[in-house]
Amino acid sequence: MKNVLQSILALFIAFGSTAEAQNKPLENSLLWEISRNGLTSPSYLYGTMHMMCEKEYALSNPVKKAFEQSQKLVLELDMDDPAELARMQKMVMSDVPLSKTLSPTEYQKLDDFLKKSVGVGAATFENYTLLSILSVVMIKALNCAPKSFELEFSEMATQRKMEILGFEKVADQVSTFDNSYTNAELIDQLQEYDSAFLEEMTKVYVAQDLNGLYAMITDDRFMDGKAQNLLLDSRNANWIKQMPALMQKQQTFFAVGAGHLAGENGLIAALQRAGYTVKPLMK
């Protein structure tokens, strides 16, 4: 269950439509300092990869230092809220079986794919949601025990008695995802999350190449304009509205999917337009 929850988070790294929204390439850095514009002390923005193999996972000294200097942790979801975690677990399952949710053609296509990729048919996942099946497929493609920055940061914050907040509720995230794709589109996307794709994404992430990562996850295979607005632009805009008050009160460590940092409507560009100085700390 823990692995499934981690991989569900991975589905919200960030998606867009094309890489042309990126006007000015960002420097290679996962960690960015946010300062000035009325702030008495800096806050920090860190781009995560929600799920990756432990052998690739690392927290650099600049990240540890920035975290230690912060008094508050803000993630996409509040990972220490028992009610939110219970809702996340509940949303793994569906009250309506797949055989009734999907058309016969969709069910057969899903069944064929799962037998080939996971080794069992759709009947095994009869009471799973398509979102949780996508998570299982990603875990299988990753081919290792996954590790999560979000869970690690949450544990570190708990040890330090830091307040942990979330930009969103899990119900909102799942609803946004459901509204972005049809069942047929989700079944088609299952085939895109293979080992080669995840290995390449990990390689780009470890290189701290936000521009390359942004280009990779904003491929047309993953989204159209409607999905871009729901999954990427609207969420970023909502987060930007919350960040000033959080930073004004205390030094804050923001940790969100790295794909949210780049692009014209990404968090870095939006913070700069709002008057903040945003500079890389891991280049």
Q: What is the pLDDT of residues 8-29, one digit of tens each?
A: 554 443 333 333 334 567 899 9
CB atoms within 10 A of CB 81: 16
Average pLDDT of the residues of the chain: 87
72-77 β-sheet, strand order:
163-168, 72-77, 252-257, 43-48, 31-35, 277-280
Q: How confident is the model at residue 213 (pLDDT cuts 50, 70, 90)?
A: confident
Amino acid sitting at position 214:
Y
Q: What is the DSSP string of 149-209?
A: HHHHHHHHHHHHT-EEEEEE-HHHHHHHHHHH--HHHHHHHHTT--HHHHHHHHHHHHTT-
Task: Report pLDDT digits (tens) over 121-179.
Answer: 999 999 999 988 988 888 888 888 888 899 999 999 999 999 999 999 988 888 888 88
Q: For position 12, what pLDDT does the model report?
A: 46
Candidates 74, 47, 75, 29; CA nearest to 247 is 74
The DSSP code sequence of 76-110 is EE-TT-HHHHHHHHHTTB-SS-HHHHS-HHHHHHH
**Is 0.75 topped by the overall pTM?**
yes
pLDDT digits (tens, 9 = 90+) for 227-268: 777 877 899 999 999 999 999 999 999 999 998 999 888 999
For residue 144, the model assigns a pLDDT of 87
| pLDDT score at 214 | 82
Residue 2 has pLDDT above 50, yes or no: no
Tell me the domain boundaries of the chain: 14-80+148-169+195-280
Mapped onto helix, strand or coil, the DSSP state of residue 68 is helix
- Residue 169: CB atoms within 10 A of its CB come to 16
Cα separation, 151 vs 149, whole angstroms: 6
